[in-house]
């Protein structure tokens, strides 16, 4: 039996891919379940637009990725095509924002610094990781501009607070000789994000690997791609927001 999906039958063109019907939404208050709908699917991707400051040619390519995600409701394999597209658009946006002449100057300076320090020829290339390093070094992107940083940094802060309260409880049990003790509550909503968590550096070190994986051909199949739409939209919005402010100051 073939594992090929084949061409979708014309009569099923606007029918939801059966793999999208396996998921449900659960009401946290009542515990009731309901099937995920196309309206849910649309609302998920609608949340991640680009700002008006982003050039139309970038926004158009980004919306190609969003529409691929949208039509993944009917063809499940579009999820990963959408993710590949949105990562390609990120590189396109960085090149547009930085400019080829500027990135060449940046690469030359970095390679010259490397040679002066080590005596060896620098190997920095004009690729996605270098573009991200430029954005990091010139503060076109910041941790605070990413929702994932706020979520993850708070979770890390919670983990630290949880470890500290357990250590306190163990010490208190030893000091008092009690057999049990109530742990104090940790309110994650009142915890500030952990300043030591560097989400930007995580992106710089790892994101190009995923993009390269797609670029070299991939059979990866999953639907967990929304986080990268969130990240890319926030990344692009940050770099062009900075650009718009700079142009406004020049005026």
| Paired residues of 34 in beta bridges | 25
pLDDT of residue 94: 97
Q: Is the dihedral of CA 93, 98, 101, 104 positive or negative?
A: negative
pLDDT, one tens digit per residue, over 40-96 is 999 999 999 999 999 999 999 999 999 999 999 999 999 999 999 999 999 999 999
CA 118, 120, 126: angle at the middle one, nearest 5? 110
Mean pLDDT of 217-234: 93
The DSSP element (H or E) to which 26 belongs, if any, is strand 24-26
Euclidean distance between CA atoms 128 and 22, whole angstroms: 36
pLDDT tens, position by position, 140-192: 999 999 999 988 877 777 888 888 888 888 888 888 888 878 888 877 676 67
- Using DSSP, state whether 249 is helix, strand or coil: helix
Average pLDDT over residues 225-244: 90
pTM of the complete model: 0.81
Please enumerate in sequence order all residues whose Cβ is within 8 A of that of 123, keeping only pairs 6 or more positions apart, or say none.
Answer: 111, 114
Within 13 A of 217's CA, how many CA atoms are on the CB side? 0
Residue closest to 203 by CA, chosen among 154, 248, 243, 152: 152
- The pair of three-digit structure tokens given for residue 34, joined into one six-digit string: 């309901």
Q: Which of 237, 138, 156 is nearest to 196 (CA)?
A: 156
- Terminal alpha carbon distance of the chain: 66
Identify the pLDDT of residue 93: 97
Would you state the pLDDT for residue 79? Answer: 96
pLDDT > 60? residue 244: no
| Cβ atoms 79, 223 nearer than 8 A | yes
- Least Cα distance to 132 among 92, 87, 104, 91 occurs for 91
């Amino acid at each position: 039996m073939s594992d090929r999906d084949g061409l979708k039958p014309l009569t099923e063109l606007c029918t939801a891919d059966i793999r999208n019907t396996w998921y449900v939404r659960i009401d946290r208050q009542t515990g009731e379940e309901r099937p995920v709908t196309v309206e849910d699917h649309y609302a998920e991707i609608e949340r991640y637009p680009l700002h008006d400051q982003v050039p139309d040619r970038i926004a158009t390519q980004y919306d190609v990725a969003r529409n691929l995600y949208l039509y993944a409701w009917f063809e499940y394999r579009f999820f990963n095509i959408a993710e590949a597209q949105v990562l390609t658009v990120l590189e396109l946006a960085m090149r547009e924002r930085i400019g080829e002449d500027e990135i060449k100057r940046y690469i030359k300076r970095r390679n010259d610094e490397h040679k002066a320090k080590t005596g060896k020829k620098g190997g920095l290339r004009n690729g996605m990781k270098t573009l991200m390093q430029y954005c990091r070094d010139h503060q076109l992107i910041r941790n605070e501009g990413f929702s994932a940083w706020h979520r993850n940094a708070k979770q890390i802060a919670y983990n630290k607070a949880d470890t500290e309260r357990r250590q306190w409880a163990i010490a208190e049990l030893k000091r008092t000789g009690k057999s049990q003790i109530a742990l104090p509550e940790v309110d994650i909503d009142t915890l500030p994000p952990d300043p030591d968590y560097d989400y930007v550096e995580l992106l710089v070190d790892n994101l190009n690997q995923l993009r390269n994986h797609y670029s070299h051909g991939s059979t990866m199949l999953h639907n967990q791609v929304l986080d990268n739409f969130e990240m890319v939209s926030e990344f692009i919005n940050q770099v062009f927001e900075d650009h718009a402010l700079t142009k406004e100051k020049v005026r």
